[in-house]
Amino acid sequence: MAKYYIIIFLILLKANLINAVSDSLHNIGHASMKIKTADGKIIYIDPFQGVSADYSDSADIILVTHSHGDHNQVSLVTQKPTCTIISYTQSNINGTYQSFNVDGIKIYSVAAYNQNHPKNECVGYVIEFNGIKLYHAGDTGNIPEMADLAYSNITYALLPCDAVFNMTPQEATQAAEIIQADFSIPIHTERTPDDYNEDNVALFTPINRLLVRHGETIALVNASTDAKNETKVPLSFKLYQSYPNPFNPNTTINFSIPTSSFVTLKIFDVNGKEVTTIVSEQIPAGNHSKQWNAIDMPTGVYFYRLQVGSFKDTKKLILLK
């Protein structure tokens, strides 16, 4: 049944069945995007003139991934008096990726870099609202940190694939398969900002591909979690890096088990003392997410350990207050 959910969603999306109460995404052009939430919040990402450059909807939030001129034209945007502008300089502070909450919209900055974009001068963003998680990758290569997004229930992954300043379409396809979003959208498809490179797009071939060309608007939908789990039963045990990391005070831990098993997931401090048990029970096969709220814990390094039968894996997480 899961594949039928996806087909229905794709039909609705490409038909552009947008209404006044829908969350929506408008591709202004290049890497410039406008999100409009169901309650009327306006979010712009990487403003640039674009082929359909209409920035007249007053912004509640503006996100800038890096300083290049085809991504940071904030002055083009009409801004509300309360507009919040978040740039890469605020988002990556000495290698620590920051999280923000603006009127209930959660924004997580994540790694983005390649030979054209230094790691300390570029970020991507995960934007969470109304059950939707949208990942704008910024300008980036296919980087190891993308694995941290796997099984984080990303709904939409926007991936650059111009093959000059960013990934090739083939590398972006591999990135989409790693991230495992419900839908993967190619952006920044050409080095020339106002162009949409159909040849590059044709080489971007993940099974969850969704095309949103310059000037197009789509309704944003949150695909069924049950449907996602049905289509993604894992083949092996795996523990993923917590997200966000560093964090304050909440982080999400994702893991996969291929068969129904008794699972323990525990947190330890740097001295090896058990802090808390998050899971200790029989759970079904699938991909699972658990949250740890460390509001009562001191800043420091912690470890989380997953044990399923003879399988054990431990990873580090950092609480910064």
Give the model confidence (pLDDT) of 142-151 as tens digits. Answer: 999 998 898 7
Give the model's pLDDT for residue 223: 57
Least confident of 60-69, 156-165, 214-223: 214-223
Put residue 25 in one of left, alpha, beta given phi > 0 → left and psi -120 to 50 → alpha.
beta
**What is the percentage of the chain residues whose pLDDT exceeds 90?**
69
Report in angstroms the alpha-carbon separations of 161 from 112, 177, 201, 217: 14, 14, 8, 20
Say yes or no: 23 and 75 in one domain. Answer: yes
Say yes or no: 153 and 302 in one domain. Answer: no
State the Cα–Cα distance between residues 190 and 265, nearest whole angstrom.
44
The answer to whether 161 touches 151, Cβ cutoff 8 Å, is: no
Say yes or no: 156 and 256 in one domain. Answer: no
Q: What's the domain range around 61? A: 2-227
Tokens found for residue 34? 């406008």
Least confident of 5-19, 230-244, 289-303: 5-19
pLDDT per position as a tens digit, 216-268: 999 998 754 444 444 455 677 888 888 788 888 988 888 888 888 999 999 99
State the Cα–Cα distance between residues 257 and 263, nearest whole angstrom.
9
Say yes or no: 237 and 218 in one domain. Answer: no
Say yes or no: 240 and 210 in one domain. Answer: no
Say yes or no: 217 and 254 in one domain. Answer: no
Domain-terminating residue out of 227, 258, 283: 227
pLDDT per position as a tens digit, 171-200: 999 999 889 898 999 999 998 888 899 999
CATH number of the domain encompassing residue 265: 2.60.40.3080
Mean pLDDT of 265-275: 95
Domain-terminating residue out of 170, 195, 227: 227
- Cα-flanking dihedrals φ and ψ of residue 236, to 5°? -150, 165
Element (H, E) at 173: helix 169-179
Domain tally, the chain: 2
Eight-state DSSP code of residue 114: B
Banded pLDDT at 169 (limits 50, 70, 90): very high
Tell if the pTM clears 0.75, that is, is over it: no
State the Cα–Cα distance between residues 62 and 91, nearest whole angstrom.
13
Element (H, E) at 66: none
Give the model's pLDDT for residue 76: 93
State the Cα–Cα distance between residues 46 and 28, nearest whole angstrom.
10
pLDDT per position as a tens digit, 14-64: 444 444 458 999 999 999 999 999 999 999 999 997 656 889 899 999 999
- Cα-flanking dihedrals φ and ψ of residue 148, to 5°? -65, -20
State the Cα–Cα distance between residues 80 and 270, nearest whole angstrom.
45
Say yes or no: 146 and 7 in one domain. Answer: yes
Chain mean position to CA 39? 21
State the Cα–Cα distance between residues 295 and 222, nearest whole angstrom.
29
Q: Tell me the HSE value of 22 on the side-chain side, using a 13 A CA sphere.
A: 15
Say yes or no: 221 and 76 in one domain. Answer: yes
Say yes or no: 150 and 292 in one domain. Answer: no
Name the residue with tokens 């162009």.
195
DSSP characters for 215-277? T-EEEE----HHHHHHH---SS-EEPPPBSSSBSSEEEEEEEESS-EEEEEEEEETTS-EEEE
The answer to whether 44 touches 55, Cβ cutoff 8 Å, is: yes
Name the residue with tokens 């910024």.
138
Domain-terminating residue out of 174, 197, 227: 227
Report which of 166, 291, 57 is spatially closest to residue 47, judged by C-alpha positions.
57
Say yes or no: 51 and 84 in one domain. Answer: yes
Give the model's pLDDT for residue 54: 84
